[in-house]
């Protein structure tokens, strides 16, 4: 399955989500779009881009601002660009509090990925926030997952606004609830990522 097909699918999912939501710009504040998946010889690098809607601002004085990919799975942060590098913090968790007035699909046994704006961050509407790349032991096969975002609406009715959509993420190997084989595969993935990180550190 080609990276070009996956990229086009990721864009189509964002458009479809907007149409389902009624096409209202207020429902699309921080949008995460799949860009590519690349095999690096050991693992797979999954890259996404992030944009702030024209009617929204990131303003942490008004509340928490963030973006989430739900149920991504085992990963390490490979890289970030743009304002995601400067003004956001990466974290992973099995569950997250969803964006305002949204109900994403969120399995309690598969890791989510979240980027949260730092305290004091203010970013103008319509800004391209950058890209991020997640390294996973799984790929290039994909499945559809939820993403959400939360920012501040700059027009009536104002206030903190949540949005929800769909994107793609790796098909995970055996996970919690799959017994010993699942634990073996999950641990092997974590060990492979840790060894790769250690090798990169020693080389640098």
Question: Binning pLDDT at 50, 70 and 90, where does residue 21 land?
Answer: very low
Per residue in 140-195, pLDDT (tens digit) is 999 999 999 999 988 777 888 899 999 999 998 754 444 444 444 445 544 554 45
Nearest Cα to Cα of residue 74 among 43, 116, 105: 43
For residues 72 and 132, is the Cβ–Cβ distance under 8 A?
Answer: no
CB neighbours of residue 75 within 10 Å: 24
117 three-state secondary structure: strand
CA separation for the pair 131, 72 (Å, rounded): 16
Between 14-23, 50-59, 65-74, 144-153, the lowest mean confidence (pLDDT) is in: 14-23
Give pTM, 2 decimals: 0.75
Residue 76 has pLDDT above 60, yes or no: yes
Q: Please state the rounded mean pLDDT for residues 77-93.
A: 98
What does the pLDDT read at residue 28?
A: 64
pLDDT of the residue at 114:
98
DSSP summary character for residue 109: T
- Burial class from Cβ neighbours inside 10 Å (0-12, 13-18, 19+) for residue 5 reads exposed
* Res 200: pLDDT: 43
118-131 residue pLDDT tens: 999 999 999 999 99
Strand ranges (E), the chain: 30-39, 44-52, 56-59, 66-69, 76-80, 88-93, 112-117, 122-123, 128-136, 142-153, 159-170
SS3 content of the chain, % helix, strand, coil (to 5): 25, 40, 35
CA distances from 201 to 53, 135, 196, 198, 204 (A): 37, 16, 9, 5, 5
Region 46-68: what's the mean pLDDT? 95
Query: What pLDDT is stored for residue 154 in this prediction?
Result: 85
What are the φ and ψ backbone dihedral angles of 30, each rounded to 5 degrees? -115, 110
Contact residues for 194 (Cβ-Cβ < 8 A; gap 6+): none
Q: Residue 166: its pLDDT value, please?
A: 96
Tell me the CATH number of domain 3-172, given options 1.20.120, 2.60.40, 1.10.3470, 3.30.2320.
2.60.40
Return the pLDDT at 204. Answer: 46
Given a cut of 90, whether residue 106 has pLDDT beyond it is: yes
Six-digit token string for 15: 């458009």
**How high does pLDDT run on average in the chain?**
81
pLDDT at 56: 92
pLDDT grade, residue 72 (50/70/90)?
A: very high
Indicate whether 49 pLDDT > 60: yes
Q: Where are the domains of the chain?
A: 3-172
Tokens coding 44:
């797979």
- 60 pLDDT more than 60: yes
């Amino acid at each position: 399955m080609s990276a070009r097909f996956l990229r086009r699918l990721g864009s189509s999912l964002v458009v479809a989500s907007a149409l389902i939501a009624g096409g209202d710009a207020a429902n699309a504040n921080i949008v995460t779009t799949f860009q590519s998946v690349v095999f690096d010889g050991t693992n797979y690098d999954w890259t996404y881009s992030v944009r702030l809607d024209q009617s929204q601002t990131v303003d942490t004085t008004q509340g928490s601002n963030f973006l989430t990919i739900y149920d991504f799975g085992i990963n390490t942060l490979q890289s970030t660009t743009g304002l995601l590098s400067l003004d956001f913090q990466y974290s992973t968790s099995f569950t997250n509090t969803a964006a305002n007035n949204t109900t994403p699909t969120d399995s309690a046994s598969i890791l989510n990925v979240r980027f949260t704006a730092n305290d004091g961050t203010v970013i103008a509407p319509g800004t391209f926030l950058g890209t991020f790349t997640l390294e996973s032991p799984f790929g290039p096969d994909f499945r559809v997952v939820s993403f959400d975002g939360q920012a501040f609406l700059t027009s009536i009715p104002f206030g903190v606004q949540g949005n929800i959509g769909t994107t793609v993420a790796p098909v995970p190997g055996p996970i919690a609830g799959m017994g010993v084989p699942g634990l073996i595969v999950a641990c092997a993935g974590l060990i492979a990522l840790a060894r790769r990180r250690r090798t990169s550190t020693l080389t640098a």
